[in-house]
Structure 1
Amino acid sequence: MVETTDQNSQPLNYNIQQRFHFIELIIQWEGRLTTNHLQQHFGVSRSNASQLIQDYLALNPHSLIYNNSLKGYQASDNFIPKFKQLDLTNYLKTTQASMQDQSKYLTWLNSPLAPIQPDKVRGVLQALKQKLRVDVGYASIASPEFESRIISPHNLVFDGTRWHVRAYCEKNQDFRDFVLTRFSGEYEFEGAAQFDQKHDTLWQTHLNVIIEPDPRLAQNKARIIALDHQMQLQPNGRYQRTLKIRAALLLYLLKQLGVVSYHVNPEAQQIILSPECLAQLQPYLPR
């Protein structure tokens, strides 16, 4: 979520950010905002809900208009969301608690690999928050037995299946991703971290990943795949979409897209990286 400032250029506190983010989620996905939305979700009075909407409008003038026939606020032509994370998943997760009947039509398929024992990663999380070096026990496929690693964590990453921590590794003298479930739970702090994300070249490098339907597909099938992946018809006559990603996270995205391997059956493959994109990404792909 972005840090938003008020009219006096003062950062908004966390609670206000949460409320304004909720307003934008409702406007984005339901198309109509009422005081009842805010009353139910935050447990506030009608007058407080009305004031919250007015506070949002004071920060974002002319962004919402009141529709008498709908008895609620709608987005105006000037509506520009100030917060990130306005996707459908965030909307459903945010509103789940206040939508009592949501469980009737909403099903989450959680990753079976995501649950983690808290005692295994507390030290890593503390080092991350306090910017510390930490000596941890870690096992990998290459080294199945737990061995001591001194790392300086700078970011937690969920790849859609597993949690990782991005950290500087003193053994490899480079930044690496460590799977959280592979820590032993033994740790010892070694002072302030000397490396953070600004030193991580791959983290600071941003790439464009361009996807398109498998060219072996018939045009009518390619159009369906384009709809699935929100691709647009380009001047070159091909459906394409550009996704921005940090170089450090590239392989996770490619696995999610299913373009790491190539299927003989185009219906199974569905999408590919554009040839031009694949050439540009070569320096960041495994040898």
Structure 2
Amino acid sequence: MITHLNCDLVKRFHFIELIVFWENRLTTKHIQQHFNISRSSASKHIQDYLKLYPDFLVYNNSKKGYQATKHFIPKYGAQDLGTYLHITQQGIQSEYYNHFTAMQSPLIPVNPQRVSGILHALKHKQRIDVGYASVSSPEFESRIISPHNLVFDGTRWHVRAYCEKNRDFRDFVLTRFNGECEIEGPAEYDQQHDTLWQTQLTVGIEPDPRLTANRARIIALDHQMNQQSNGNYKRNIKVRAALLLYLLKQLRVDSYQANPEAQQIILSPDCLSGLQPYMP
């Protein structure tokens, strides 16, 4: 009986769950090729998983592989499509999954030398003096900040931090730091003090009402909307108030398009009043 899971075993169990979840068929070959191990070792990892969760998987003779049962509940990490694609393409024999392509951000990658101090401050909850440039202040200037979270908005990386210059929590773009950093002691503010970070909002979206019924149905499918009792489609998305503008930009509802096919979705009128205090 397994009493302790080391890091390697957790990675293998996470991989097992991803394959079962997304491909609906797990074989020893999946594990062999991804981790570059023998068939017997791959088989042992499956058996070890089954010892812990005997009701999660069942062997299907016709498909010659394991499938999830109705009791299957993933235990070892995120199961979203992005995680599946990212992890399955990391294998030593990654050509097995070479029919997947993920778009990367077209912007310049973050320079580790410019943000190592930020990462250190995050890890150790420190208050730091850093050099930062912005559109309003294009020359690098000293900022004393207390960072508490890294945020990726789909294009750029930001750090959420308390800024002593502005006496408030702000988002700082990672590529705008100059790499100079001085420790100023323990952070005096963290995410518990960040009201916008702690505030949860509900963003309601629905198809643009100018679309025909058939086109609205397709847009609803794209955005996983549910059909309401009145026949309309809608989806509610939870988001931190501090990240609201990033979500609106991702959904492309931060601006209005004259063409309904270009607009596709709108914010539900009944949620707008609640979001107004957090919008520019």
- Fold similarity call, TM over 0.5: yes
Residue 247 of structure 2 corresponds to residue 247 of structure 1: no
CA distance 1:198–1:60, shift in 2 (3 Å): farther
Cα shift at 1:235: 2.0
**What TM-score do you get using the length of structure 1 for normalisation?**
0.90
Looking at structure 2, the residues matched to 84 and 244 of structure 1 have their Cα atoms a distance apart, in angstroms, of 20
- Which residue of structure 1 lines up, in the alignment, with residue 65 of structure 2? 72
Q: Is the 8 A contact 1:154 1:167 kept in 2?
A: yes
Q: Is the 8 A contact 1:114 1:163 kept in 2?
A: no
Looking at structure 2, the residues matched to 56 and 175 of structure 1 have their Cα atoms a distance apart, in angstroms, of 44
Count residues with an aligned counterpart.
Answer: 278
- Which residue of structure 2 lines up, in the alignment, with residue 154 of structure 1? 148
How much identity, in percent, do the aligned residues show? 67
| Structure 2 residues without counterparts, runs of 5 or longer | none
**What RMSD over aligned residues (CA atoms) do the two structures have, in Å?**
1.9
- Which residue of structure 2 lines up, in the alignment, with residue 267 of structure 1? 261
- Which residue of structure 2 lines up, in the alignment, with residue 280 of structure 1? 274
Residue 265 of structure 2 corresponds to residue 236 of structure 1: no
Q: Which of residues 94, 99, 105 is equivalent to 1:99?
A: 94
Letter in 2 for 1:109: M
- Which residue of structure 2 lines up, in the alignment, with residue 47 of structure 1? 40
Cα shift at 1:223: 0.6
Cα shift at 1:49: 2.0
Q: Which of residues 76, 86, 89 is equivalent to 2:79?
A: 86
Cα shift at 1:163: 0.6
- Which residue of structure 2 lines up, in the alignment, with residue 61 of structure 1? 54
Q: Is the 8 A contact 1:114 1:161 kept in 2?
A: no
Q: Which of residues 160, 166, 173 is equivalent to 1:166?
A: 160
Tell me, what secondary structure is at the counterpart of 2:130?
strand
Residue 220 of structure 2 corresponds to residue 226 of structure 1: yes
Measured against aligned partners, the alpha-carbon deviations of 1:33-91 in whole angstroms (never above 9, x if no partner) come to 11121122122333332232223223333111111111110011111222442122221
- Which residue of structure 1 lines up, in the alignment, with residue 13 of structure 2? 20
Looking at structure 1, the residues matched to 76 and 204 of structure 2 have their Cα atoms a distance apart, in angstroms, of 25
Cα shift at 1:110: 1.6
Looking at structure 1, the residues matched to 48 and 237 of structure 2 have their Cα atoms a distance apart, in angstroms, of 34
Cα shift at 1:200: 1.6
Q: Is the 8 A contact 2:220 2:226 kept in 1?
A: yes
Cα shift at 1:139: 0.9
Cα shift at 1:101: 4.6
Looking at structure 1, the residues matched to 207 and 231 of structure 2 have their Cα atoms a distance apart, in angstroms, of 12
| Structure 1 residues without counterparts, runs of 5 or longer | 1-5
Cα shift at 1:24: 1.2
Q: Is the 8 A contact 1:120 1:184 kept in 2?
A: yes
CA distance 1:58–1:201, shift in 2 (3 Å): farther
Cα shift at 1:211: 1.1
Q: Which of residues 143, 148, 168 is equivalent to 2:137?
A: 143
Tell me, what secondary structure is at the counterpart of 2:94?
coil
Q: Is the 8 A contact 2:115 2:174 kept in 1?
A: yes
Measured against aligned partners, the alpha-carbon deviations of 1:160-189 in whole angstroms (never above 9, x if no partner) come to 110101111111222111000111111111
Q: Which of residues 24, 36, 41 is equivalent to 1:31?
A: 24
Cα shift at 1:157: 0.8
Cα shift at 1:109: 2.4
Tell me, what secondary structure is at the counterpart of 1:100?
helix
Letter in 1 for 2:88: T
Measured against aligned partners, the alpha-carbon deviations of 1:116-145 in whole angstroms (never above 9, x if no partner) come to 222111111111112111100111112111
- Which residue of structure 2 lines up, in the alignment, with residue 205 of structure 1? 199
- Which residue of structure 2 lines up, in the alignment, with residue 3 of structure 1? none
Looking at structure 2, the residues matched to 109 and 159 of structure 1 have their Cα atoms a distance apart, in angstroms, of 14
Letter in 1 for 2:122: L
Looking at structure 2, the residues matched to 114 and 61 of structure 1 have their Cα atoms a distance apart, in angstroms, of 47
CA distance 1:221–1:21, shift in 2 (3 Å): same
